[in-house]
Amino acid sequence: MFSKTKSTTLIASIFLAAFLAFFAVPFAQPAHAQVDGCEIFEEADYYMEICDDADGYYEYYEDDEGWYEYAEDIDGNVLFDDGGFWDDEDYFYDEDFADYDDEDYDPNEDGGYYDEGTEPADNYDDSDLANNSLGKTEATPGAQPWMVAQVDSRESNAYYGQGCGGSLIAPQWVLTAAHCLEDANASDIDYVIGRHVLSSNEGERIPAAQIILHPGYAQTGGEDHDIALVKLERPATAGTPIELVTPATTHLDEAGILARVTGWGQMGENDERYPDALFGVSIPLISQATCKAQLGDDAIQAGEICAGTPEGGKDSCYGDSGGPLTVPNADGTGEALAGVVSWGDECGAPNSAGVYTRVTEYVDWIAQNMR
Ligand code: ARG
């Protein structure tokens, strides 16, 4: 959910998944070394390893459909909770584990299953990204100081760990999408604040201390109320919080106002290039009626606001989720937060707006929970 898939790894994974699905080769995943204090179950239809020793708890399971891995340190803190189960139908592959490489597995090193930051530097090359199907251009460094990156806490390089965006709305609070934090513990998440280029050390990186998902999110099966608050371990000193849109600006969408979305997400529906620098695109807000006409009456709820053009070509995309959709604030002195990147049908397609959580609907919930 948080780690970004690099295309080579993804392509390799798809081939492996397709191979497994077609030939049902059992246990084609990397074999795991026997570790002291482990119980090994080698059955006809599955393989399982459970290690419970002075270093903590480790569990590995695989069968011909996939594999699963989980580890805790001696204090019961989850080190990782991961797996790559493939679904025969659509070759689904869990992106969480795309960076996993068996060579990095070291059973003697507590939690040292990832070899961080060893990926080739040319993945950082942003030079051709201006050529994209979503109208994204590199943002002006520092011009959106509320923009934060949500990063997998296990990955020291934020370029590889980024999976979502977010907005600093108070020194110690980030507003993001609930779907960015599904099944996450606060210890899984860091936020990078005051940074333009993800792989740099600019700004600061602060662990999440508390995650508050909107209660309606789970109730609706993870479709509506896609909003979450995260309290940071300490107040940010880099970055500047953004004000929320005031209820008086609720009808901004009816006026076709130009909103702006920023993020480190991918460059097109089938264009899995991820920028190292922050990118953004300005997109007109559209009315609820137009949005419903495009995406379905039932799909669009009161808590959502849409942005897009009939001809397409201006949109956010995967990896931008949780990030800010901003509009000029009421007194014209800056920007206000109007939306949170939530979902869409196909990034940049004509008559298929991007859907954002409508911040005006949640100002009370935000105020009540921010303490
Ligand atoms: N759900 C996506 C994410 O997790 C965001 C998709 C936005 N799609 C769109 N067409 N605007 O990053």
Instruction: Please give the mean pLDDT across all residues of the chain.
Output: 81
In this prediction, residue 42 carries a pLDDT of: 80
Q: Among this protein's residues, is 196 annotated catalytic?
A: no
Q: Which residues pair with 57 in a beta bridge?
A: 52, 72
Q: Is the pTM of this model over 0.75?
A: no
Instruction: Give the contacts of 255 (CB within 8 A, at least 6 positions apart).
Output: 285
pLDDT at 99 over 60: no
* Dihedral sign of CA atoms 296, 297, 298, 300 in order: positive
Average pLDDT over residues 155-170: 96
Q: Best of 176, 283, 320 to mutate for ligand 1, by most ligand atoms within 8 A of CB?
A: 320
CA-closest residue to ligand 1 atom 9:
344
pLDDT at 275 over 90: yes
Which helix (H) or strand (E) segment holds residue 160: the answer is helix 158-161
CA of 370 to the centre of ligand 1 (A): 26
User: Is the separation of the CB atoms in 317 and 268 below 8 Å?
Assistant: yes
Do the strands 46-53 and 38-42 form a parallel or antiparallel pair, or are they unpaired? Answer: antiparallel
User: Is the separation of the CB atoms in 355 and 347 below 8 Å?
Assistant: no
- Round to whole Å and give the CA distance between 59 and 76: 13
User: Is the separation of the CB atoms in 284 and 134 below 8 Å?
Assistant: no
Average pLDDT over residues 310-321: 97
Average pLDDT over residues 17-40: 49
pLDDT at 193 over 90: yes
Average pLDDT over residues 132-153: 97
Q: Among 147, 371, 338, which Cα is nearest to 247's? A: 338
Confirm or reject: Cβ of 320 under 6 Å from ligand 1: yes
Q: Return phi, psi of residue 269, to 5°.
A: -50, -45
Residue type present at position 257: I
Q: Determine which one of 179, 196, 214, 225 is catalytic.
A: 179
Buried b (16+ CB within 10 A) or exposed e, 199-226: beebbbbbebeebbbbebbeeeeebbbb
The token duo for 2 is 């948080």
Average pLDDT over residues 278-307: 95
Compute CA distances 301 → 125, 189, 252, 296, whole Å: 39, 29, 17, 10
Q: Determine which one of 153, 316, 321, 352 is catalytic.
A: 321
Domain with CATH 2.40.10.10 in the chain: 129-369
In this prediction, residue 55 carries a pLDDT of: 73
- Round to whole Å and give the CA distance between 353 and 342: 11
Average pLDDT over residues 263-287: 95
Q: Among this protein's residues, is 320 annotated catalytic?
A: no
Q: Best of 223, 285, 342 to mutate for ligand 1, by most ligand atoms within 8 A of CB?
A: 342
The token duo for 315 is 């949109």
Q: Among this protein's residues, is 321 annotated catalytic?
A: yes
Q: Which percentage of the chain shows pLDDT scores above 70?
A: 75
CA of 56 to the centre of ligand 1 (A): 37
In this prediction, residue 298 carries a pLDDT of: 93
Average pLDDT over residues 89-101: 37
More confident site: 190 or 250: 190
User: Is the separation of the CB atoms in 280 and 200 below 8 Å?
Assistant: no
In this prediction, residue 84 carries a pLDDT of: 54
Topology of the domain covering 129-369? Thrombin, subunit H (2.40.10)
Count the neighbouring beta carbons within 10 Å of the beta carbon of residue 21: 17
pLDDT at 116 over 70: no
Residue type present at position 354: G
Query: How sure is the predictor about 221, in pLDDT bands with cuts at 50, 70 and 90?
Result: confident
